[in-house]
Amino acid sequence: MKIVSRIKLPIEKEMELFEKKFSDSMSSKVSLLNKITHYVVNRKGKQMRPMFVFLIAKMTNQGQVNERTYRGASVIELIHTATLVHDDVVDDSDRRRGFFSLNALWKNKIAVLVGDYLLSKGLLLSIDNDDFDLLKIISVAVREMSEGELLQIEKARKLDITEDIYFEIIRQKTATLIAACCAMGARSVMASDEEVEKMRKFGELIGTAFQIKDDLFDYGNEHIGKPTGIDIKEQKMTLPLIYALNNASSEDKKWLINSVKNYNKDKKRVKEVIAFVKDNGGLDYAVSKMKEYQQQALQLLETYPASPYKESLELMVNYVIDRKK
């Protein structure tokens, strides 16, 4: 059995019902909008985010979920889908998960409006049901994701990213949404503030490990859905590169910065940068940091009794760093 199917096993019924509820939550009186949202729903990814919501809810509440859990998972997925649609417009990307993106099929204006619609649907789903505690969790995540993106753009222009700033960027850009899923799962079943915070931290740790793994793909030769060296071409400062820069001689540092700034489209030069990062311990360092976050996340689960949900979450933590794409 595939690892994702094994993770999903204890929440299979919930995920089936969730898909129906999620699809219903997108409905509109505008037929063009329904056509587009139908396209979105039928091209879903692995749905890791709602899986986190249900697994955490069941682990912290003796295997039980409620309507708030379904709404929480729907809100997360609506907001996440909205950010993906907007990201594709910003990045001028014409593909998403192997399919055409909305902006490629329906142009930017419609894609932006659909993203706004999904965002408002998510907010109203919480407001209409007085789930203000859940709304606060997702609103904080949206604010942080926006700040993280802008911080990355600001720093990319100068290439002056320290390791601390890098971790702040990925905490906001990537980890904050997974943290919100985990907090949402616990909060939906009325867990205590301490437990909600513990689960939020658990999600943040996994999200950070997840992003470091993504950074490492840029240096791998496996077919993983994005070409090797793409982060360098896009002048993104990843952890292996930051480590190599911080530990390079002033001459090598100049060469690296010049390469990323001015020769990032030169295939030969990009390969040389990748080789330099590998030879100077950048990958080994990133792997060790990723494993640190993985272990910290697993430690937070230790206080919970054995259950299929806890086991699935442990599988999820390991899958995040063992995945091939």
**DSSP collapsed to 3 states, 3-62:** HHHHHHHHHHHHHHHHHHHHHHHCCCCCHHHHHHHHHHHCCCCCCHHHHHHHHHHHHHCC
For residue 109, the tally of other CB atoms under 10 A from its CB is 10
- Look up the pTM and report it: 0.88
Q: What single-letter amino acid sits at 288?
A: S
Name the strand (E) or helix (H) holding 78.
Answer: helix 67-90
Over residues 231-257, mean pLDDT: 88
Q: What is the CA radius of gyration of the chain?
A: 20
Determine the Cα–Cα distance for residues 43 and 133; give it in Å rounded to an integer.
30
Q: What is the dihedral of CA 227, 232, 236, 239, to 10 degrees?
A: 90
In the predicted structure, residue 222 carries a pLDDT above the cut 80: no
Over residues 249-273, mean pLDDT: 88
Q: What is the dihedral of CA 179, 87, 290, 248, to 10 degrees?
A: -140
In the predicted structure, residue 43 carries a pLDDT above the cut 50: yes
Percent of the chain with pLDDT over 90: 51
Over residues 30-50, mean pLDDT: 76
Percent of the chain with pLDDT over 70: 88
Determine the Cα–Cα distance for residues 7 and 311; give it in Å rounded to an integer.
8
For residue 78, the tally of other CB atoms under 10 A from its CB is 25
Sign of CA dihedral 311, 183, 177, 160: negative
Over residues 257-278, mean pLDDT: 87
In the predicted structure, residue 287 carries a pLDDT above the cut 80: yes
Give burial (CB, 10 Å; 0-12/13-18/19+) of 223.
exposed
Structural contact between residues 41 and 50, judged by C-beta atoms closer than 8 angstroms: no
pLDDT-derived band at 282, boundaries 50, 70, 90: very high
Structural contact between residues 317 and 298, judged by C-beta atoms closer than 8 angstroms: yes
Which tokens sit at 308? 């299929």
pLDDT-derived band at 224, boundaries 50, 70, 90: very low
| Most confident of the following: 18-32, 114-128, 132-146, 220-234 | 132-146
